[in-house]
Structure 1
Amino acid sequence: MTKCIIVDDERPARDLIRLHLSGLQDFELLETFDNALDAFNFLQRSTVDLIFLDIQMPQVSGLELIKSLKICPKIILTTAFREHAAEAFDLDVLDYLIKPVIRERFMKAISKFTYYNNTIPEQTRIPSSFDNAYIFLKTGKEQTRVFLKDILYIEGYKDYIKVHTPNRVFVAFERLSYMEEKLPENKFARIHKSYIVSLDGITQYNAGEIKIAETSLAIGRIFKNNFLKKIQGYKRG
């Protein structure tokens, strides 16, 4: 069962999303909120899979709510304004719906959620032994198995990634944030909004960049402290 909440300061907008949800199987509406602060407090104590979230609200905006969450559920934004789309997708939102949300567009967003939430995790297999661990990536029309030990680094480009291995670069329809969740954190590190690297593959590093497979990659400012702590305490093997 997919657990949902609605966060919108306009009651008609909340009621419309509630109506659209009412016809779906396997979706449970836990709560509705007219402000982001109450939603934030609820999320601190409850597990939620999907949030329907307005952007412009008093005190705390929808985008500010997303930025405040360490672990963020999937987000479908509902808004009357188109100009926030670029910033929203930089925050890895699942979809961006313009009010009033028509049923056809709503169903398309739900289909996208179902694809990400159900299909891709079922294709992922990470056994306990790292030497044998692998992940399936959607490369074109096929699913390709990539062993985690072969991954040197991953580049993110919004809706797709490039996975660099010693012998090949895989282009896959996936988001970097998803890979960050699925890869073992004791073996990989996010060093930039666009890069995840294998700790085993790093040959040199300083406070500003790392070197891996003869390639230099910048370390982003907001990732620097966590990366340096991780690499300084890292033991290979």
Structure 2
Amino acid sequence: MNVLIVDDEPLARDVLQTYIEKIPSLQLIGSCQNAIEAFEQLNSQKVDLMLLDIHMPQISGIDFLKTLAQPPLVIFTTAYSNYALESYELNVVDYLLKPIAFDRFVKAINKAMGLQKNRGQERQTKAAEPQTKGSDYIFVKADKKLIKVRFDEIFYIEGLKDYVILHTPQGRIVTLQTMKLLEAKLPAQLFKRVHRSYIANLSKIAMLEGNMLELNGKSIPVGKNYRDELLAIINEKRL
């Protein structure tokens, strides 16, 4: 993972560089003291993760992040706790308060690596889409019948004990099945587990507000263990 440090404090940059050197999977590719330098680095080389301070001269870390159309993964490193809520709305990986302990730094890096891995898997899935074209439906056993259901007709899937409910334009289809087994049969590029009891069709998402996802006029919850991966997917389509 290629890492860029952006911080106007030399001591803070030195601490972060020392931490990075202790983790073999990280590669420091630049250390900048302001957003202008960081912008040049982002345009000249591949950056996977940016360790970004908030209080900096000329342009704050938050304002700088807002200018980026396709930002890398970002971890805020700051001495101020009052920007945590705003950073959450910007979908950053983590928010580290100075002085930053090494174990806390490692935890944030592990989280970033998980998100990077998810992005890679999504790209691989998209690349493989032509090979799976044509497999656009499944047969579901319900009411003693086998019903053909196209994937693009499913808004979301709801788990209820040993049953699952497929929500479609034609109504609900209830079948005896586990969420885990059904999830394995769904195309990963189209469907995403967003809660222990819900699988969403990504193409049907109308809005994400807080921890609620809206599809076809209905709202379903997003579990905290699934939110980061969902946000990573949404951010790839974000303007």
Residues 134-159 of structure 1 show CA distances to partners (whole Å, capped at 9, x for unaligned) of 33523445895x655xx42243245x
Q: Distance in 1 between matches of 2:84 and 2:59?
A: 18
Question: Corresponding residue for 2:227?
Answer: 174
Matches within 5 A, 1:7-156: 7-119=6-118, 121-122=120-121, 125-126=125-126, 127-128=129-130, 129=133, 132=136, 134-140=189-195, 144=199, 151-156=203-208
Q: What TM-score does the superposition give when structure 2 sets the normalisation length?
A: 0.64
Q: Distance in 2 between matches of 1:94 and 1:142?
A: 25
Alignment partner of 2:213 out of 158, 162, 165: 162
Once the two structures are TM-superposed, the CA of residue 164 in structure 1 deviates from its matched residue by 2.3
Once the two structures are TM-superposed, the CA of residue 25 in structure 1 deviates from its matched residue by 1.7
Residues 30-83 of structure 1 show CA distances to partners (whole Å, capped at 9, x for unaligned) of 010111111112212221000001000111111111011111000000000001
Once the two structures are TM-superposed, the CA of residue 177 in structure 1 deviates from its matched residue by 4.7
Q: Residue 56 of structure 1 aligns to which amino acid in structure 2?
A: H
Residues 209-233 of structure 1 show CA distances to partners (whole Å, capped at 9, x for unaligned) of xxxxxxxxxxxxxx8xxxxxxxxxx
Q: Distance in 2 between matches of 1:130 and 1:14?
A: 52
Once the two structures are TM-superposed, the CA of residue 12 in structure 1 deviates from its matched residue by 0.8
Once the two structures are TM-superposed, the CA of residue 117 in structure 1 deviates from its matched residue by 1.2
Matches within 5 A, 1:175-194: 177-181=231-235
Tell me which of the two structures has the higher relative contact order, counting C-alpha pairs closer than 8 angstroms and 6 or more residues apart.
Answer: 2
Q: Distance in 2 between matches of 1:98 and 1:181?
A: 24
Asked whether the equivalents of residues 75 and 96 of structure 2 are also in contact (C-alpha less than 8 Å), the reply is yes
Q: Distance in 2 between matches of 1:32 and 1:130?
A: 48
Q: Distance in 2 between matches of 1:157 and 1:91?
A: 13
Count of residue pairs brought into register by the alignment: 180
Q: Distance in 2 between matches of 1:21 and 1:75?
A: 15
Q: Residue 32 of structure 1 aligns to which amino acid in structure 2?
A: S
1:93 match: secondary structure: coil
Residues 158-210 of structure 1 show CA distances to partners (whole Å, capped at 9, x for unaligned) of 5x562626999574523565333556xxxxxx7xxxxxxxxxxxxxxxxxxxx
Cα 1:43/1:95, change in 2 over 3 Å: same
Q: Residue 83 of structure 2 aligns to which amino acid in structure 1?
A: H
Cα 1:120/1:32, change in 2 over 3 Å: closer
RMSD of aligned residue pairs (Cα, Å):
3.1
Cα 1:167/1:36, change in 2 over 3 Å: closer
Cα 1:142/1:47, change in 2 over 3 Å: farther
Cα 1:50/1:143, change in 2 over 3 Å: farther
Q: Distance in 2 between matches of 1:104 and 1:155?
A: 35
Q: What TM-score does the superposition give when structure 1 sets the normalisation length?
A: 0.64
Task: Tell which structure's C-alpha radius of gyration is larger.
Answer: 2
| Structure 2: gaps spanning 5 or more residues | 137-186
Asked whether the equivalents of residues 35 and 57 of structure 1 are also in contact (C-alpha less than 8 Å), the reply is yes
Cα 1:80/1:169, change in 2 over 3 Å: closer
